[in-house]
């Protein structure tokens, strides 16, 4: 059973922070606890990031969708670094508390992040428009992280269908990722 401990918080990651080496760049205390499903949300991409040279992931509230992700336990001292990474100070994302359902049917409350601008909802099967596509590096972080965390196979197959924009991340981001190997 997933539970919080004193001086820690639970964080729900659905984007690049699914990948262990990615989350540990800025959040060394992160401990992977398991996976969970966020109901009533759809995974999408909207804001362009120079760092990633493509759009970054967000969750969009919607009734009929769900997003799978990782549940991490972080020490409270890492919260400012996580907020900064997510751009809370620049109004890129905002933090919110969500109820995440674990595979055993329990519900845990986690901190997660949603972009401050929501894209228009896509219809089922509608392809991501070119201007809203993530870069190859970012998408690889998400897919490899999903595999590493053992998200459901059908969800991983859906992630693999997300088109990229043909770009790779900035040299600075590539260097950060490579330093964590």
Give the tens place of pLDDT for each residue, 78-109: 999 999 999 999 999 999 999 999 999 999 99
pLDDT at 84: 94
| Cβ-based neighbours of 156, under 8 Å, separated by 6 or more | 143, 146, 147
Across residues 2-30, what is the average pLDDT? 92
C-alpha triplet 82, 177, 155: angle, nearest 5°: 75
Domains along the chain? 8-179 (3.10.490.10)
Give the tens place of pLDDT for each residue, 129-154: 999 999 999 999 999 999 999 999 99
Strand partners, 37: 68, 101
Active site members: 86
Give the tens place of pLDDT for each residue, 34-46: 999 999 999 999 9
Backbone φ and ψ of 168, nearest 5°: -110, 165
Is 164:135 a contact under the CB 8 Å cutoff? yes
The tokens describing 156, both together, are 């991983």
Across residues 17-37, what is the average pLDDT? 94
**How does residue 181 score in pLDDT terms, banded at 50, 70 and 90?**
low
pLDDT(1) > 60: yes
């Amino acid at each position: 059973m997933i539970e919080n401990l004193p001086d820690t918080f639970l964080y729900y990651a659905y984007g690049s922070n699914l990948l262990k080496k990615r989350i540990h760049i800025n959040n060394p205390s992160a401990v992977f606890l398991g996976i969970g499903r966020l109901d009533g949300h759809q995974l999408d991409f909207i804001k362009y990031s120079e760092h990633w040279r493509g759009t970054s992931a967000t969750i969009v509230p919607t009734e009929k969708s769900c997003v799978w992700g990782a549940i991490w336990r972080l020490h409270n001292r890492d919260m400012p670094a996580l907020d900064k990474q997510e751009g809370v100070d620049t109004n890129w994302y905002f933090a919110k508390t969500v109820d995440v359902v674990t595979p055993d049917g329990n519900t845990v409350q986690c901190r997660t992040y949603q972009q401050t601008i929501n894209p228009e909802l896509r219809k089922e099967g509608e392809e991501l428009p070119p201007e809203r596509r993530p870069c190859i590096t970012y998408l690889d972080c998400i897919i490899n992280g999903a595999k590493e965390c053992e998200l459901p196979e059908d969800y991983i197959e859906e992630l693999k269908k997300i088109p990229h924009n043909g770009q790779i991340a900035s040299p600075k981001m590539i260097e950060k990722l490579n330093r964590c190997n």
